[in-house]
Structure 1
Amino acid sequence: MFQLRSLIVKSRAPFVANLRVLPISTDIYFRATITRSRSSTAYKKQTPSNKKWKPSEFHIPNKFSTKDENAKYSYEAVSDFRDKLLYSLKDNEMYERAKFLSVPHSLYFSELQNFIKLASQDKIDSISIDTIRDSLTRGGEAEASLLTMPAYLHYLAKEFPDRMTKFLTTKSFVSTENVHLVYLNARAMRRKIIMHVGPTNSGKTYSALKRLEESFNGIYCSPLRLLAHEIYNKMLSIGRPCRLITGEDRREPDEHENLDEIPRDSKNNKINTILSCTIEMVNCSSLFEVGVIDEIQMIQDSQRGWAWTNALLGIRAKELHLCGEETAIPIVQKLLSLTGDSIEIRRYDRLNELTVEETGLDGDWSKVKEGDCVVTFSRKNIFKVAKEIELASGMKCALIYGQLPPENRIIQANLFNDPNSEYKVLVASDAIGMGINLKIKRIIFESVYKFDGRLERRLTLSQIKQISGRAGRYGISKVLGLVTTFNNSHLDTVKEALDMKAGAIQRAGIFPSGRQIYKLAHAFPNASFSQIVYSIIDTYSPSDLYFLSNTSHLIQLSKHLDQFKLPKSSYYTMMCAPINHRNDFVLKMAGYFANSINNSTPLDICEIIEVPKGSIRTFETLLLVESMHRSLILFIWLHYYYPSIFWNLEGALELKLSLENFIQSGMANHKSLKAIEKKRFM
């Protein structure tokens, strides 16, 4: 039985936990809902505006008709979308955001019509068609919809500075001007930057890592925890002491059994360690001889781009290697023109040929071959496709997708890579795009469209290239890499994408520092968490060089955590915490954790989550256990910031391993998993 043991009685928080237990075969599936008591002073009735608009339907052509992939958003569609954004400024909910920054009611509404007119004529650069289209391409409607309010407030500040003093003062707290000067220690030295650019499977990262191995000391910044672990183990395997720092893991060299003693040079001096870390955990204070930043093109990521910008501008390395796509060269050059660092660009060609087959599978899964990887873009579809392939071909399928814990992804990858394994086919999401070595002979796109949470969007050039590049990798570099599609009608899209050059990255992600957030929070002592987040967004100065990262996620997270009255010193920590706001279970567990932080109440995760008994028999149960694992990762992450509250690290690590084993047992029997019929919830 799954159990979620409430700590409400212990913490005496005004919450009510409702657990509805639903027996399904021998499994127990439950829905856990946490609701704020209406008697609480923090309860606030939500009254959605009746003026909210629906997402516009963008034109998505079947083919790439231009080298600028932004063209998939037609001028008419983007213009219509902007009109709806401008109209939304009339909502009282929008004015409340302006009111928080002391914008007079009369000024806000008297100038609104004139602003809408100018913006509609494309005379406001910060909300121009090109700016909105760029934002849509990078982060979808969720990000683009946040452009309107800061554009209007900056317009008012320019026209009426005497009446916008509070706005201008707030803006100074989180100023994004001269971002490169924030890193004074890095600016005090002249670094040598070496960019290794090329397609997937070109050896660019290998060259940078060889230099890291030879260095006196160094740092490797990884986009994924899996890669950080891989480099950590690689360094230890060659006798090089290495530290590991990720959000939920800390390891010193002497903790690994492969190192019997700390290596020393010919003069008996201790050889300094290498630091392998995830990009968010980068060390910008220590001095390194060599640094490596992997997947530098992620600097444009709508949620995490700030971490790459932070590492690029802040790492104190005499020699800094950047690995990634050629599209990142222009933005890196722009940033380095401000820092004064030198740059050398090394280009690499793919080690083996990548070819698109003449025909697709014509909708027939029996044409799948050993060594194939079928890529599809929903967790539900991964299981569906795997079942159909096993029935049609008789070959067993390994599965990899984003929600699957990294440790389980490695197990599935090893099953697929092992020539003696019965798992001959891999069915995966775009999670295989980076971070896992796989012996893939052929990539098969089940579809070239992906749901982004709001709309069905065609894959970008970068996504198609990154996924396709996985074919012919890892130990079979002399073998031709093949790419095809399940539906023949999608084949031309893949061909054209691989033949085309992706557009250059125009902007780098940034986000205010913890010090800036803390300063802003104390300037508004009565402000809620979400009001602080909105004030950051609404005072952001539009830039041709930077964009504000992680905004749509933080809005959803902060609104949920408002009810827990977090101390202001915890705002930045929770902003950076690994909380998936789209996962209800994780979000509610984050509420438990936030409540413990607020009350300084020690919390033992082993009293909240238990390893299930029996076996996983439904998709819903598997999803629930994966959510439990994500909640456990969050607990471990918070332990390093609040060790006295999230104290039972040893128990959490044991529980984490047990959940991973339980998930793996469900993956082994994925063919027999069933969906819960809706009538069972009635």
Structure 2
Amino acid sequence: MLLTPFLVGAKVEEGSIEGSRRVYSHDSRNAFPQRASGSKALSLRLRERMKSSKVEDIIEQRLDALKDSLGETWSDRGEFEAFFARFKTSIKLDSGQSRLLPTPSVKARAKIILNSKSSGATTALYTFRAFRQAFVKRGLTGLDSELKHAFIGFVTDSRSTEQLLNKQVKVSDLRHPIEWYPATRARRRTIHLHVGPTNSGKTYHALQRLEQAKTGLYAGPLRLLAHEVYTRMNAKGKPCNLITGEEKRIIEGEKNPMISCTVEMTPLHKDLDVAVIDEIQMIGSWDRGWAWTQALLGVQAREVHLCGEERVVPLIRHLTSLMGESLEIHRYARLNPLTVESMSLKGGLHSLKKGDCVVVFSRAGIHAMKKKIESTTGKRCAVVYGSLPPETRAQQARLFNDPDSGYDILVASDAIGMGLNLSIKRIIFETTRKIAGGCDFENLTTSEIKQIAGRAGRYRTASDDTRDTISAASSRGGEVPSQAGSSVSSRPSIGSVTTLEDIDLRVVRKAMGSEADPIPSAGIFAPVAVTRQFVSYFPPNTPFSFVLRRLHEISRVNSLFHLCELDDQLTIADLIEPIKGLSVTDRVVICRAPVDRTADGFPEMVQALAKCIARRKGGALLEIKEIPLELLNRPVVAEKAYLASLETLHKGLSLYLWLSYRFEGVFPSRPLAFQYKGMVENNIDKILSGMYYEPNIRPTGTRKELEEVIKKVRTEYRGAEKQGTHPEAEIPMLLGNEGTQNFMENMS
């Protein structure tokens, strides 16, 4: 079938040209116009493929596969056959009618489920449209998951009484999250909202107020920021604890120390004078927004200082009004000028200067750009991207900031948008699009462009303040002078922003002159107590992922809030479903662990750790073979595969540490995990310092260079074919997934 090979693999790999298109020159882009058409064109191609194919046939095939897999575990085969026949009929009846039906609103979902029992159909919750969308977004894996969820829901609803369904609807009423924190509502708080662009001093002024308080906390989005404030407070003689998901540093003997934490770890039971919640605009995130909402609604502080972007102001006004609390808004202007340059780099790299930062949106693209810059200009590059350990990112930032290190240029992802102290003079966007959803592209938002561009030029940061404070204390035998860090530096640096190509410069210029859209709602998750109660309304063997999705589907939510996405939680829930002995609370905790679903070995690591929790033993680090500690026995070599393996090992050790603080009796090897984690970080630093990246085959530069690469690939492919092997994994995606298929078909 024509559609299957395209959509099953409808995922742009990091090493593909679609993922790093701007290394091409303008000429080469014209040579491949389908690449320059962007996410809209790719979406159109997807739609055309779907129109020309019989998706019903694919659904029919996957239903047969689902029947075979589920039928083996069903005790009453006759009952199963009857259920499945009715289920297939309902889908067939629905498929012809639901193509134009919108997805039902949250308010309508409860009625849909109640009506489904009497109608005997899957109704609009499980429409052909939903199956089709799952197939487009996630291929056969997504379709299989959607079909399984629909069938389980069909059976569950058919067996449930109306009274039980009403209980599910009642407990899933999440319209009033303000009331989830009665102790906080019982006290008077003043909310201070500090808003302004990057490098406006908003967080600096909030931290100044925190330093004056007797008790307080800082809650930030990243471990790096929490560690920075922790260091700053202790250097100034203010005892401060560090609390993140993976690490706790507690000062013994202090009655009321300050707290610096990641926002997910914000303590809601402590009586505080001042709380600072940084990057409050992330309250609107569909992934982590719940943590900012929880911190804002629940922290028990007399003064709550929120730092963020102007676009969050309307939402905070509404929330403070709901809470009956006073709001004071402090607005800040950027402390130094930021200009958009009149010209792009015209696709060339020769004009790069010391202090430049080139922003690229894929890991492979970052390493390829590093190699290209170093070979073109002779200047060394530091690199920063999300899958690097935070400690390594900080080390790379230090190398870039040090004028004597020899690292003149930074190549980075949007990870530079927050959390790192960087002496960037100019930001250069390689592209203004990034991969979204695995098989499509999306334009950067106005807010994202401004956040990244704002890193160019800088005033004094909290990190500068910390460093100078430590230096002053050291020079005076531990005495901190009163003026240390008390004022903002009077030496501004002018920042500038441009792009690699002209087409993107227009986008950046428009964004820099526009206001970002207001944030419409705050993210929430159902409290653990609600989830536990909801689970009790289902048969014991109901898959936990189904319960989570059902709760998400029928929950009623105030228009000021939205339910955060469940993708990671559902993946983990399915992985640990077969493991016996896990309580509902265990499953909720494990599902909320910070994981990277794309990392190699991720399923095995999660399952191994979950089995330890179920058994309440066996959690010694050296006994868990799924965490590949043997990598540390290998010689450190500057190879991309070894670097990726170390990054995965670091994620595994971080997950072990995260779980060790929640299941302390199960995972006793925390000190050893910290030791190995440090070794991994050191090895990654060594690799990055010595790596001259050599991707398998990655066309760059002019059309002529492209033709040479294609010739080389064709020769290698034919040679392998004669030997009876096809090195398909080594062939570049010259035109994305569709182009790769056509390219390989034309090899002969």
Instruction: Give the Cα separation in 2 of the matches to 1:590 and 1:56.
Output: 23
Q: Which runs of 5+ in 2 are unaligned?
A: 13-38, 71-78, 110-123, 125-135, 461-488, 698-715, 717-725, 731-748
Corresponding residue of 2:440: 455
Q: Aligned-pair distance for 1:642?
A: 1.4
Asked if the contact 1:620/1:675 (under 8 Å) is kept, the reply is no
* 2:408 pairs with one of 416, 424, 437: 424
Whether the 8 Å CA contact 1:221–1:282 is kept in 2: the answer is yes
Instruction: Pick from 636, 641, 646 the counterpart of residue 657 of structure 2.
Output: 636
Higher mean displacement: 545-554 or 344-353 = 545-554
1:620 to 641, 644, 658: 641
Q: How does 1:110-509 map to 2 (within 5 A)?
A: 116=98, 119-120=101-102, 165-254=163-252, 272-452=256-436, 453-475=438-460, 478-509=492-523
Q: Which residue does 1:667 correspond to in 2?
A: 688
Structure 2 residue corresponding to 1:550, chosen from 565, 571, 576: 565
Q: 1:590 aligns with which of 594, 602, 606?
A: 606
Letter in 2 for 1:497: A
Query: Paired residue for 1:541, among 556, 561, 571?
Result: 556
State the 1:119 CA deviation: 3.9
Task: Write the distance in 2 (CA, Å) between the matches of 1:541 and 1:168.
Answer: 13
Task: Detail structure 1 runs of 4+ shifted over 6 Å in the superposition.
Answer: 52-57, 90-93, 102-111, 121-128
Distance (whole Å) between structure 1 residues aligned to residue 529 and residue 104 of structure 2:
36
Structure 1 SS opposite 2:439: coil
Secondary structure at 1:592 match in 2? helix
2:528 pairs with 1:514: yes
Cα shift at 1:345:
0.9
Q: For the residues of structure 2 that align with 1:53 and 1:300, how far apart are their CA atoms?
A: 32
Cα drift, residue 544 of structure 1: 1.9
- Partner secondary structure for residue 342 of structure 2: coil
CA contact 1:602–1:644 (8 Å) conserved in 2: no
DSSP-derived class of the 1:373 partner? strand
Write the distance in 1 (CA, Å) between the matches of 2:169 and 2:384. Answer: 43
1:80 and 1:54 mapped to 2: Cα distance?
16
**TM superposition shift of 1:674:** 5.3
Partner SS state of residue 290, structure 1: strand
User: For residues 450 and 640 of structure 1, what CA distance do their matches in structure 2 show?
Assistant: 35
Distance 2:163 2:430 in 1: 55
- Give the gaps of 5 or more residues in structure 1: 1-48, 58-71, 129-139, 255-260, 263-269
Q: How far apart are residue 604 of structure 1 and its match?
A: 2.2
| Shift of residue 522, structure 1, vs aligned partner | 3.3
Greater gyration radius: 2
Q: Distance in 2 between matches of 1:289 and 1:661?
A: 39
Percent of paired sites with the same residue: 37
Q: Assess, with a 3 A threshold, how the Cα gap between structure 1 residues 645 and 352 changes in structure 2: closer, same or farther.
A: same
Match of 1:573 in 2: 589
Over residues 393-421 of structure 1, what are the superposed CA-to-partner deviations in whole Å (9 max), with x where a residue is unaligned? 11110111000000111110000011111
Q: Structure 1 stretch 542-551 or stretch 494-503: which is displaced more?
A: 542-551
Structure 1 pair 636–117 and aligned structure 2 pair: CA distance change class (3 A): closer
**For residues 635 and 319 of structure 1, what CA distance do their matches in structure 2 show?**
35
- TM-fit CA distance, 1:679: 4.7
CA shift for structure 1 position 601: 2.6
Q: Which amino acid aligns with 1:301?
A: S
Moved more, 186-195 or 110-119: 110-119
Cα pair distance change 1:641/1:211, threshold 3 Å = same
Partner deviation per Cα, 1:345-390 (whole Å, 9 max, x = no partner) = 1111100111010111111111110000110000001111011111
Q: TM (normalized to structure 1)?
A: 0.76
SS in 2 for 1:436: coil
**With structure 2 as the length reference, what TM-score do the two structures score?**
0.70
Structure 2 CA distance, aligned partners of 1:122 and 1:577?
A: 30
In structure 2, relative to structure 1, the CA distance for the partners of 1:115 and 1:617 (3 Å cut) is same
**How far apart, in 2, do the equivalents of 1:168 and 1:582 lie?**
38
Q: Quick check: which one's helix share is greater? A: 2
What SS does the corresponding residue of 2:517 show, helix, strand or coil? Answer: coil
2:263 and 2:292 map into 1 onto residues whose CA distance is: 7
Question: Amino acid of the residue matched to residue 515 of structure 2?
Answer: K
Contact 1:220–1:291 (CA under 8 A) maintained in structure 2: yes
Give the 3-state SS of the residue equivalent to 2:595 in structure 1: coil
* More off after superposition, 358-367 vs 606-615: 606-615
- Deviation of the 1:309 alpha carbon: 0.7
Instruction: Write the letter of the residue equivalent to 2:583.
Output: P
In 1, the alpha carbon distance for the partners of 2:104 and 2:247 equals 49
Shift of 1:109: 6.7
Q: Shift in Å at residue 614 of structure 1?
A: 0.7
What amino acid maps onto 2:316 in structure 1?
V
SS at match of 2:667: coil
SS of alignment partner, residue 276 of structure 2 = strand
SS of the residue 2:536 aligns to: helix
Q: Does 1:646 align with 2:661?
A: no
Worse overlay, 102-111 or 319-328: 102-111
Task: Name the CA distance, whole Å, in 2 between partners of 1:238 and 1:167.
Answer: 57
Aligned partner of residue 562 in structure 2, secondary structure? strand
Answer yes or no: is the 8 Å Cα contact 1:126–1:542 preserved in 2. Answer: no
The Cα of 1:490 is off from its aligned counterpart by: 0.9
Distance of 2:95 and 2:570 partners within structure 1: 27
Change in CA separation of 1:672 and 1:181 when aligned onto 2, cut-off 3 Å = closer
In 1: Cα distance, 2:683 partner to 2:291 partner: 33
Q: Partner residue of 1:526?
A: 541
One-letter amino acid matched to 1:575: C
* 1:84-123 alignment, distance < 5 Å: 116=98, 119-120=101-102
Deviation at 1:285, TM superposition (A): 1.1
Give me the whole-angstrom Cα distance separating, in 2, the residues matched to 1:107 and 1:341.
Answer: 54
Structure 2 SS opposite 1:584: coil
Check whether the contact 2:169–2:555 (CA below 8 A) recurs between aligned residues: yes
Any idea what SS the aligned residue of 2:556 has? coil
